[in-house]
Homo-oligomer: A and B are copies of this chain.
Amino acid sequence: MSTPDHRFLRALRREPVDTTPVWIMRQAGRYLPEYRATRERAGNFLTMAQTPEIACEVTLQPLARFPLDAAILFSDILTIPDAMGLGLHFVDGEGPKLRHPVRSAADVARLGVPDPETDLRYVPDAVRLIRRELKDRAPLIGFSGSPWTLACYMIEGEGSSNFSRAKAMALDDAPTMHRLLDVLARSVSTYLAAQAAAGAQALMVFDTWGGLLAPSMFREFSQRYLAQIVAALKAHPAVADVPVILFSKGANAHLETLADSGCDGLGLDWTVDIADARARVGSRVALQGNLDPAVLAASPEAIRGEARRIIDGFGAHPGHVFNLGHGITPDIKPEHVAVLVDAVHEFGRRTA
């Protein structure tokens, strides 16, 4: 199953590469006409994520267009809360919602760790199918939402601008919040291990809402559980050598602490200078990022210029995976993605 020579995996291990590997968060997404066509046919997002054949089809779509260095499992961030019985559904134009939000200690006490091979079977099934169809052209990344990010949605029942209800639970009933985060950390660890066992060659944890926390709360309610997940995966003999990437959006103040978790790579949003980030974490971890997604709305010349700036900023060390600092948006022209991928491969040869 292992593909040790792919430049994406080599970069995560901080080994020399021929050029900088690149993939794009949300690369299987609405900016692609073929994705929109599949979604039209499937009817809705959840059917896409829960049908392995469709998840496989859209996972591979961007790789058919662009010479990307990794595929990422097409799935939803809220699969675990759904498997816990919270009733995930989508309301058009409003994003994901949960029918049964978690609001009390009793609600938390009822939650158990889902079994990935039964309760979330469609996920490892999709991983196995994608690996078969990918035929080792590129490594496959599995992923999960982070405990704090999942807790935010589980408590609010939907997205929020500030997740004040989740923060209030953390402040007013820390023991209940810690019980919730612990069951989530165990669920995420089990879920990611199952994805690796099914064939995922790297694992990424998206802590999308970690950066909304004040530093003291970030350490207590987000970082601690990210570290618990990394420790669990690294203690698991079957998956210990699968690289783990942590991405806490907006948590640039915490890069050193996150690097100390034992993870292999850190995602960077675009508000940090990658040269500064590299100086702070050294070669302990690879860095993944960090182009502002909005740059893809500018001209090809600007895209090339900004790609070069980031590659030169990281410098001639091993351990850079190029990516955006957040997911690609639906308004972007696919031709601009092609410009970016080619620019990364071109400029990456100079520092490789």
Chain A residues within CB distance 8 Å of chain B: 162-165, 167-168, 171-172, 211-217, 250-253, 270-273, 276, 290, 292-295, 297-299, 301-302, 305-306, 309, 329, 331
Contact = CB atoms under 8 A, between A and B. Distances in A.
A251 B252 CA distance: 11
**Main SS class of interface, A:** helix
Given A162-B329, A211-B271, A272-B215, A294 B253 contact: no
B163 A294 contact: yes
Q: What 3 A-B pairs come out closest when comparing CB atoms?
A: A164-B294, A171-B302, A164-B297
B292 A167 contact: yes
30 contacts: A162-B292, A162-B329, A164-B293, A165-B297, A167-B292, A167-B295, A167-B297, A168-B294, A168-B302, A171-B298, A171-B305, A171-B306, A172-B301, A172-B302, A212-B271, A213-B271, A213-B292, A214-B273, A214-B290, A214-B306, A215-B271, A217-B292, A250-B250, A250-B271, A251-B271, A252-B252, A252-B253, A253-B271, A253-B273, A253-B276
A294 B214 CA distance: 10
**Copies of this chain assembled into the complex:** 2
B253 A297 contact: no
Contacts of A306: 171, 214
A306 to B, nearest CB: 7
A15 B228 CA distance: 45
A202 to B, nearest CB: 26
A331 to B, nearest CB: 7
A299 B167 CA distance: 11
A272 B253 contact: yes
Contact of A162 (B163, B276, B293, B299): B293
